[in-house]
Amino acid sequence: MVSACTTTTTTTATATLIPVLPTPDHIVVVIEENHADTSIIGNAEAPYINSLASSGALFTESYATHHPSQPNYLALFSGSDQGVIDDACPPAGSPYASDNLAAQLIAAGKTFVGYSQGLSAAGSPECDNGGSLGYQRKHNPWVNFSNVPAEANQPFTSFPADFSTLPTVSFVVPNQLYDMHDGTIAQGDAWLQENIDSYAQWAQTHNSLLIVTWDEDDYVDDNKIVTIFIGQQVKPGTYTETINHYNVLRTIEDMYGLPSVANSTTATAITDCWLP
């Protein structure tokens, strides 16, 4: 099933109908690394991800915004690359004070937590832990903002088994072995199935949403990546409108009535993949 983009309003003779987004109880965003969509969709080494694509909303024209990794994470989290053009560890402390998804959620009385596999301790500003296969701060944007509390920066070991206790929005970042940066596609796929599938199943009966996306491609396909939505309010199918990290951010913002930030202000929310 191919669905067309419906991000604009529909006008009748008597009224203007504005697309209504669901308001999930919880959203979990999982970010994988450095693979084009053609490396993942249809690949026998990624059976679990392909099962998510088949049962959820698959966006076939989804694009990253930058190369290399770090600016993409910042873009998805804050609507801006914050002037970053590389993967170097940011200066000590929290160098950015601009608005972002976590700060907006907290201001609205909602909650946010980022869960990073391999982070040595809650709130740690460390640049890495475990070397090239472990935790890397370049994949953790929330730690870089002075308006995001330290307790929002958690190791993945703190991801709750009782999903009803999850924050309103959470980001999950595997380490570099299991996010496909240095490990294989098969390793990343198996990690997702082992660690995220129980939430994916739960979300489909508990008004919640799972987003699986990639930071960027591997320089082979014009930065086109896989983005998949799974949840109780998601209308399964293949969606062909062009989206990027800013559209995904804007969708989350609009779901909770948050002000848009930076480049998400001019992005359109994704409105066509939801059940009535």
**pTM higher than 0.85, yes or no?**
yes
In a domain, 256, yes or no: yes
**Whats the size of the chain, residue-wise?**
276
In a domain, 236, yes or no: yes
In a domain, 57, yes or no: yes
In a domain, 11, yes or no: no
CA dihedral 39, 44, 49, 54 (to 10 degrees): 100
Predicted local distance difference test score (pLDDT) of residue 17 = 53
Residue 184's domain is classified under what CATH number? Answer: 3.40.720.10
In a domain, 3, yes or no: no
- How far is residue 151's CA from residue 143's CA, in Å, rounded to a whole number? 10
* pLDDT one-digit tens code per residue, 13-37: 444 455 689 999 999 999 999 999 9
Omega prior to 68 cis, within 30 of 0: yes
In a domain, 15, yes or no: no
pLDDT at 91 over 90: no
Domain that holds residue 212: 22-85+96-266
In a domain, 51, yes or no: yes
Per-residue confidence band for 140, with pLDDT thresholds at 50, 70 and 90: very high
In a domain, 126, yes or no: yes
Tell me how many domains the chain contains. Answer: 1
Predicted local distance difference test score (pLDDT) of residue 94 = 84
pLDDT at 146 over 50: yes
Asked if 58 and 270 count as a contact pair (C-beta separation under 8 A), the reply is no
